[in-house]
Structure formats: structure tokens, C-alpha cells
A = this chain, B = another copy of it.
Amino acid sequence: MPAPATPPPRDLHALFDPASVAIVGASADPAKWGHSVAFQALRAGNRRPVHLVNRRGGEILGRTVATSMAELADPVELVVISVPAAGFESAVDDALAAGARALVAITAGLGELGAEGEARQQAVLAKVRAAGALLVGPNCLGLADNTTELYLSSDPFPDGRIALLSQSGNVGLELQLRLARQGLGFSRFVSLGNQADVSLVELVRDCARHPGTDTIAVYAEDFRDGRAFAAAAAEAAALGRPLVLLAPGGSDAAARSALSHTGSMTSPTAVIDAVCRDSGIHRVATLRELAVVLSALHNRSRATGRRVAVFTDGGGHGTIAADSLEDAGFTVPALSDEAQKAVRTALWDNSPSANPIDLAGLGEQDPLCYARGVAALLGSDEVDSVLMTGYFGGYSLGDFGDASAAEAEAAAALAAHAAVSAKPVVVQSMYPDAPSCRALAQQGIPVFDATEDAVRALAALTPPPVSTGAPLPLPASAPPTADDGYLASRDLFAAAGIPFVPAVSACTEEEVLAAARRLNAPYVLKATGLLHKSDAGGVALGLEDEEELVAAHRDMTDRLAPPGFSVEQMADTRDGVELIVGARQDPRFGPVLLVGLGGTLTEVLRDTAFALAPVTRAAARALLEGLRAAPLLHGARGRPGVDLDAAAEAVARISRLAAAHPEIDEIEVNPLLATPRGVTALDARIVLGGSGGVTRARS
């Protein structure tokens, strides 16, 4: 299903291609930000007027400095504000008075410092919005747009086709260094700062439409509206501009305070992983991985499957690469006799050709064989991509005479073969900086010095094994529920179409006996109105007859004095699989669905899958089939398979229920018994959101 229709993004033209610029707080002191930004801004020469403003006036970098915005004759479209926090408001006022359409606020000490700063920031925002202007920051490190020669950050960002949106300055600096080695650079750089006005989401949407940008790189600890971010990323991917996300720092504090299994297992990082999987986002964990994936995406080919040919000039490198690929979920299939023959024809008969394919010494004699080998492998319908590994590059460095020229020729031929193939080629080389490797990289074949980088790059060029599709829009909210007791929870699930095991409420011994007569033995007796009724000894299973039921009722009454009981028919779990299906309200992403292996093993095995709720039945089924325990659902070792359609339908219904009830913090059915004959909920729990904290559930 497509991403929800959203209004077109705001026009950020004043931010990325202003007619004129002023830098308020420009400084003559090279240690100050106001100096380096001024220095960078002036690099653009005559592209647009750049005014330097400092209340002390004087001269900076050979330019006369205005003492105030008012002194400037013409209106200024974009104003950089790099003044101490005390002067922030008046600098904004002056800029807006001078007609500014966009502000880049480097000034720190506002919203990031707590309530007082946040109030000041809000007041400024109101003025900016009233003036119809844009504000980046405050507390940001500037921005740059190489496609419009707009340089408003303290460092130069080399030209290229990656848009970087970052909450950290040093992160941008290191990424710059890493990408430079691959010959890659930036179309834009925006330091996000406090996102008071212009948000990450807005910037992603704008970059998704930016002709100078191929790929969007994001370093963010704070997404603001997580669903809008996911939708913007999915939109960018659909527009051919994939987003690579480095999002560290998911705190587990929320998970630790949760009251349900679902809550405690829904970690922030698991939620982000699920969002990325479904929104086409490439998630990375480190700057090295970020650079590797960005390099990979520069290769325009994409693999359609996970079968890789490993092509090597040394047995060790080939074996190491094959192992690393298999660890990463790829296969390195043995080639058919026919395919092997084609490979040996391109190489020589000495070459092991089963896969890995080994030149076996031919490279030294005939560097062009590298190109012939890759061409033969790209031409085989038995593999989806090629990983070349080992020495290539070395012939253009050492004292190999003609081999150096031949290797350069091989690089050109290899790149030409790859260009006409739809399949990606990635390279690991001992000599990634050798001229022939640099030539490959320039032709879009990424070259890395480490096997794991080449494998990671290939992963970025290969579709993930499971995706449930872009997030669905949230439904309208249902009338809120105020009762989170066990019986009310059951009613809520039952109204949503989740079948429950037959049960009757009761209180006295007589009522319990009467209830039993409406059910079949064996029975289950649950004390209601207790937090964690299982742990408290408030659940008795497998009561064979009325005598045992009465004994259990007396025992619980003595020990726990609960306000009531639920007498239930014990389900036959023998040919079933116990699932957990739940959802939690995530502060950034809203309702998040969890499915997993349930019952007593739930938290021990943590075999879980997540998606933003609601999900379709097809997506629910994909989640279930992605569990480690999926073979149990399909029927393993003589056991029958469960009714997966019914299970998926129940999961989809629970996801819609959660999405329609934002007042419910945590909601779960555990276990949901899935059998060949359908599904039955055996227990349920909801936790209502309280003001300033969660309300304790009573069940």
C-alpha cells in the first residue's frame, strides 16, 4: 500500500538558494564560528551578495562590516545568526525587519537547555512563523548547498551528490573524510540543531525532490514525528533517492518501566529497525558503515536475489569472503557444470570454478582475465551479484611492467561489463587506493579494503528478505476505553473480533460452580483485579473437575481475596503454538505492533517481530513467517501447521485496535493459541496511559 498522501512540502528555496545573505555575528577572530562561516560564505565570490554584520563594525576578511541589519540598503533573503544567546531575539527581530525569508540560527543556549530556553525559542518561532519565514536551528552548525554555491557552515563540504542532514558536527566531519577516500561528496549539508521550525522531516522531503541529490544521509537522535519521518523516507526512496540513517542512542528506559511483555520487549532500536525495513531506509550503526552504504548506493545496479559469485585471485580471500557472505544471509551457490565451463573458458582450466571462482595464478600473467571473469559471472543466471576480492589493484602499484597498463585496461573493461549488466559488482582489494581501483570506484563499482565492507555494500544493493510494506495511515480514534481490568480487556478484544476461550465471571463458590456447568472440563480459574495474576499465584490451570475447581477457589480466596474470578474452559494446546500479539504507544512512532512466540518462553526467547500499527493481514502474515519459530507455525516434525490466515487476521485486528486507541499504552494477547483450526485468545491485558505516567493495570 502506498504511503499516505501528505501535503507538498514547504518551499525551502530561501534556505538553499537565497538571492542574498547576511551573517550577523561575523567575527575577525579565527577561533570564532562567526569567522569561519564568513570565510566560507565569501568563497562563492559573486554568486550572491554576502553582507557581514557585527555591532562593533570594522573590517573582516577585507570586507567592511555593517554594524546592524538596518544599515544594509537592500533586503536580505537569508540571515545567519551567530550571536550570544542574550542577543538572539533582537537579532531575529532585526533580520525579519530587514525582510529575511530564511534564518539559520547558530546561536546556542535556547531550547536545548530546558524550559526557560524552550519558552524563548517558542516565542521567536511565533514571530518567524508570523512573518512567513523559515528558521533552521537554533543551536545548529549552519548549512551548505554545493549546487547553489551556498557555504554557510564552518567547514567546506566537498562537492558531490549526497545530502547530509545531521545533528552532530563531528559526525559530518568524519563522514567527509571517509567519503573523500571514495571520491564522493555532498550536494547539501544541514545541521539540524533544535529543529524549532524547519524539521528533519521537512528537509528529507525537500531533498527527496532535489535534482542535485542522489542519496540522503541522516544522523539523528531526535526524529520528532517518527511516522512522518518514515513516510518522508519512503517517499524519497520512491523518488529514487534512498535514505541512509545513523540513529543511535535508543534508550531502554521506557522498556524497563513497561508493565506488559509487549512493553518490555519493544525496545526503541527494534522499533527503528522495523520502521527502516518497511520504509526502504538503510539503517547503519557506525560512521564507517554509513560511508560504506553511501559508497554502495553510488552503484546504480541492484541485485534481485541473494546468490553471490565470489571471484578471487587467492584461495584465502575467496574463502573468507564466502564465509562472510553466508554469515550475512547471502548464499554462495555451487555453479552448475555448464556455468563452470563458461567461467573456465573465460579464464583457464586451472581455475577452481565451483564458487568461489579462483584465478589460480592467471592474474599475474593476464590481468585482463579479471574483466573476462566478471563478465562471465554477470552473464550467468545462477548468481545475482559478484564480489571480487584479493589482489586486484596491486599490478598497477608494483614493478609489474606491462601488467600495470593491462590492469588499467582490465578496470575499464570490467566497469564496462558491469555498466551493461543490471547486477551489482563490489570489490575488496588489498590496494583500494591503487589507480585501477580508483578507476573502478569512479565508474560506480565500489572498492573497499575490508571484506566486511564489501559484504555490507552488497547488502545495501540487495532487497531485504522481509518487508511488510510502507506504514499505513493511522485510523480515526475510537471512543476511548477507561477500564483496563481483565474482563473489560477481554470485551474490547472480543468486540474487535478476537475469539476468546469460553469464560464466565464469578465471585462466590456457588457462582463458580454454576459457571463450570456452562463450560467443559478441564477448567482454568483466574483471580481478577490483580496486577500480574500469574506471578501472584492467581491462575490455576488444568482443574480436572468441580472438586478441584472449588479447592482452587478456596485457596485463592484465602491467599489473595481477589474482587472476582473468571472461570474458563482450558484450551487444548497440544497441537497449537502459543503466540504473543501486542502493541505499545511509542513516543516517537505511535502504536507499534509486536508479534512473537508467546507463553512461558516469551521473554526468555525474545523471538519477536515489530511493525508500525496498523498492518494489513498480508503484512501480519509476513511478520509471523519472519519469526525464528515460523517452522512451528508451518508444522514441524510431524506436527500439523496452524491456520496462518486466521492468525494473521487476528494480528491485523489487534493492530487496528491498538491504532484506534491512543489512550491505551500497552495492549496484548498472550497467549494467542494458534492451532490448525484457528486462533483463540487465552489471556489479555491492557495498560492505560495516565497523566504523567502509566496507570497500573488491574486484571
Given contacts A177-B430, A603-B636, 10 further A-B contacts (CB under 8 A): A31-B364, A171-B320, A219-B316, A246-B320, A248-B316, A248-B320, A286-B324, A287-B450, A600-B632, A600-B637
Asked if A316 contacts B636 (CB within 8 A), the reply is: no
A537 at the interface (CB under 8 A from B): yes
Q: Specify which chain B residues have a CB less than 8 angstroms from the CB of A246 in the assembled complex.
A: 320
Asked if A628 contacts B605 (CB within 8 A), the reply is: yes
Asked if B170 contacts A320 (CB within 8 A), the reply is: no
Interface string of A90-120 (1 = CB under 8 A from B): 0000000000000000000000000000000
Asked if A605 contacts B605 (CB within 8 A), the reply is: yes
Q: Specify which chain B residues have a CB less than 8 angstroms from the CB of A450 in the assembled complex.
A: 286-288
Pairs A–B under 8 Å by Cβ, sample size 11: A31-B364, A173-B391, A173-B430, A248-B316, A249-B319, A269-B323, A286-B320, A287-B450, A287-B451, A535-B637, A604-B632
Closest to A30 in B: B399
Shortest A454–chain B CB gap in Å is: 10
A444 at the interface (CB under 8 A from B): no
A122 at the interface (CB under 8 A from B): no
Q: Specify which chain B residues have a CB less than 8 angstroms from the CB of A451 in the assembled complex.
A: 286-288
Instruction: Give CA–CA (A533, B24) in the complex, Å.
Output: 83
Q: Specify which chain B residues have a CB less than 8 angstroms from the CB of A169 in the assembled complex.
A: 314, 316
Instruction: Give CA–CA (A177, B393) in the complex, Å.
Output: 14
Interface string of A130-145 (1 = CB under 8 A from B): 0000000000000000
Interface string of A519-540 (1 = CB under 8 A from B): 0000000000000001101000
Q: Specify which chain B residues have a CB less than 8 angstroms from the CB of A452 in the assembled complex.
A: 285-286, 288-289
Q: Specify which chain B residues have a CB less than 8 angstroms from the CB of A74 in the assembled complex.
A: none
**Given B221, B316, B628, which contacts A168 in the complex, CB threshold below 8 Å?**
B316
Shortest A191–chain B CB gap in Å is: 11
Shortest A699–chain B CB gap in Å is: 15
Asked if B607 contacts A605 (CB within 8 A), the reply is: yes
Q: Specify which chain B residues have a CB less than 8 angstroms from the CB of A639 in the assembled complex.
A: 600
A interface, CB within 8 angstroms of B = 31, 166-171, 173-174, 177, 219, 221, 246, 248-250, 269, 285-289, 313-317, 319-320, 322-324, 327, 364, 390-391, 430, 449-452, 534-535, 537, 542, 574, 600-601, 603-607, 628-629, 631-632, 636-639
Closest to A316 in B: B168
Closest to A450 in B: B288
Instruction: Give CA–CA (A390, B167) in the complex, Å.
Output: 15
Asked if A320 contacts B285 (CB within 8 A), the reply is: yes
**Given B167, B535, B605, which contacts A629 in the complex, CB threshold below 8 Å?**
B605
Shortest A596–chain B CB gap in Å is: 12
Q: Specify which chain B residues have a CB less than 8 angstroms from the CB of A314 in the assembled complex.
A: 168-171
Q: Specify which chain B residues have a CB less than 8 angstroms from the CB of A219 in the assembled complex.
A: 316
Asked if A600 contacts B171 (CB within 8 A), the reply is: no
Q: Specify which chain B residues have a CB less than 8 angstroms from the CB of A537 in the assembled complex.
A: 638
**Given B166, B313, B327, B628, which contacts A604 in the complex, CB threshold below 8 Å?**
B628
Shortest A153–chain B CB gap in Å is: 15
> Which residue, of A166, A288, A603, has the highest number of chain B Cβ atoms within 10 A?
A288
Q: Specify which chain B residues have a CB less than 8 angstroms from the CB of A605 in the assembled complex.
A: 605, 607, 628-629
Shortest A524–chain B CB gap in Å is: 14
Instruction: Give CA–CA (A166, B317) in the complex, Å.
Output: 12
Q: Specify which chain B residues have a CB less than 8 angstroms from the CB of A166 in the assembled complex.
A: 316
Shortest A79–chain B CB gap in Å is: 25
Shortest A551–chain B CB gap in Å is: 17
Instruction: Give CA–CA (A317, B637) in the complex, Å.
Output: 49
> Which residue, of A250, A323, A606, has the highest number of chain B Cβ atoms within 10 A?
A323
Asked if A171 contacts B637 (CB within 8 A), the reply is: no
Shortest A111–chain B CB gap in Å is: 16
Asked if B327 contacts A285 (CB within 8 A), the reply is: yes
Closest to A221 in B: B319
Instruction: Give CA–CA (A287, B31) in the complex, Å.
Output: 42
Shortest A190–chain B CB gap in Å is: 15
Q: Specify which chain B residues have a CB less than 8 angstroms from the CB of A170 in the assembled complex.
A: 313-314, 316-317, 390-391, 430
Instruction: Give CA–CA (A391, B170) in the complex, Å.
Output: 8
Q: Specify which chain B residues have a CB less than 8 angstroms from the CB of A286 in the assembled complex.
A: 320, 324, 450-452
Instruction: Give CA–CA (A451, B168) in the complex, Å.
Output: 16
Instruction: Give CA–CA (A390, B171) in the complex, Å.
Output: 9
Q: Specify which chain B residues have a CB less than 8 angstroms from the CB of A637 in the assembled complex.
A: 534-535, 600, 603
Q: Specify which chain B residues have a CB less than 8 angstroms from the CB of A177 in the assembled complex.
A: 430
Asked if B636 contacts A604 (CB within 8 A), the reply is: yes
Closest to A455 in B: B286
Q: Specify which chain B residues have a CB less than 8 angstroms from the CB of A449 in the assembled complex.
A: 288
Instruction: Give CA–CA (A423, B323) in the complex, Å.
Output: 34
Instruction: Give CA–CA (A606, B636) in the complex, Å.
Output: 14
**Given B249, B288, B327, which contacts A322 in the complex, CB threshold below 8 Å?**
B249
Q: Specify which chain B residues have a CB less than 8 angstroms from the CB of A167 in the assembled complex.
A: 316
